[in-house]
Amino acid sequence: MRDMNKERFGKSSVIANDQKFVAAQGNKSMKELRALPADQASLSAVDFIDGAFDSAMIDGQIILDDAIPLFAQGKQHKVPFMIGTMSWDASFFALSAPPVETYLKAMKQDSQKIAKLYKDFKYQCDQALSPQIMADGWYTGAVKLLADSANKHAPAYAYYVTFVTPTLKASYIGPAHTFELPYVFGALDTVSLAPRKAKPANPCQEITQGRVDAKEKSTWSKYWFPATAPNGNADQSMAKQFAKSWTTFAKTGNPNYNGKNVWPRYDINTDVMRHFANGHEGMIAKVNKDRVDYQLEFVRAFYGVK
């Protein structure tokens, strides 16, 4: 079991973060903590930047360890499994990611190798490149590892999303973290509306401004939240694809529907994922393979898995 008192990557331990929160609230008992109003118990943008965000609590009873080593050892439930990632899942790291060189030094990665691998990444500013390097390992790489491990015991499927509402394509690096949720749940009208016309912007500047707003005003930038065009043909089509895939998977353990075979079981050797993209319904192979493979060397080493 992971030691919850231990720092990881220079980040405070789970226990230290919890103690800091309790001390800040002035609470002395669980009863007092449970009585807090929601706005006081919620994570603020400043909290997030300061590293107060934690993953699932590994308590040794319900959650026994990090998922990657558990799956590698075949200790997960042997049931059909689905997992995926967005092409700009790096948005999750963008508010608090360290500069590229700081991250590479912490991970003991080769800066020359990184420069070569990421030379074609469009946004070379630190505030975009650093999160992307992180996401290639901790999101895309982790998805591939988990799906491959799961598939050895039961059918497992992986997906990759590049779809964004057409009028956002000019201003977004790609769909950000959680952007698929309104489509999966058929809730296109419950999130922000995308602009009627495309408004080109500079993502590097957007991220920088988002960091400033978070730090100085403790506000979350709209850049991090889904936006849709509920009545748009592209959005409607994508919502149907997601909903049908998810409901068919829930019913049968296989996300393919209507006799289609566009979503194979995942094997890291063939590395084929379902691709949810603008104007496309099919598969994608070897997503950012060279970049992800390099990052996976460090993810595997960190968890001690092959």
Q: With H, G, I as helix, E, B as strand and everything else as coil, classify residue 90.
A: coil
Q: What DSSP element (H or E) covers 150?
A: helix 142-151
Phi, psi of 92 (to 5 degrees): -60, -30
CATH code for the part of the protein at 77-303: 3.40.50.1820
Closest to 137 (Cα-Cα) out of 290, 304, 306: 290
Instruction: Give the angle 224-228-229 at the CA atoms, nearest 5°.
Output: 155
Phi, psi (degrees; rounded to nearest 5) at 100: -55, -50
Stretches where the chain sits below pLDDT 70 are 1-14, 51-57
Residue-level pLDDT at 9:
58
Model pLDDT, residue 46:
81
Q: How many CB atoms lie within 10 A of CB 21?
A: 17
Residue type, 230: P
| Residues in contact with 233: Cβ distance below 8 Å, sequence separation at least 6, in sequence order | none
Rounded to 10 deg, the angle between the 289-303 and 142-151 helix axes is: 70
Q: DSSP 3-state assignment of 281?
A: strand
pLDDT of residue 231: 95
- The set of residues, in sequence order, having a beta carbon less than 8 Å from that of 293 and lying 6+ positions away, is none
Residue 6: what pLDDT? Answer: 63
CB contact set of 275 (below 8 Å; sequence gap of 6+): 159, 160, 161, 162, 282, 283, 284
C-alpha to C-alpha distance for 155 and 148, rounded to whole angstroms = 10
Q: What pTM did the predictor assign?
A: 0.91
Domain ranges of the chain: 1-76, 77-303
CB atoms within 10 A of CB 72: 20
pLDDT value of residue 199:
84
| Sign of the dihedral through C-alpha 46, 48, 49, 54 | positive
Identify the H or E element spanning 277.
strand 272-277
Phi and psi at residue 81, in whole multiples of 5°? -135, 140
User: What are the structure tokens assigned to 147, written together?
Assistant: 């799906």
**C-alpha dihedral sign at 191, 192, 195, 200:** negative
Looking at the DSSP bridge assignments, the partners of residue 275 are 160, 282
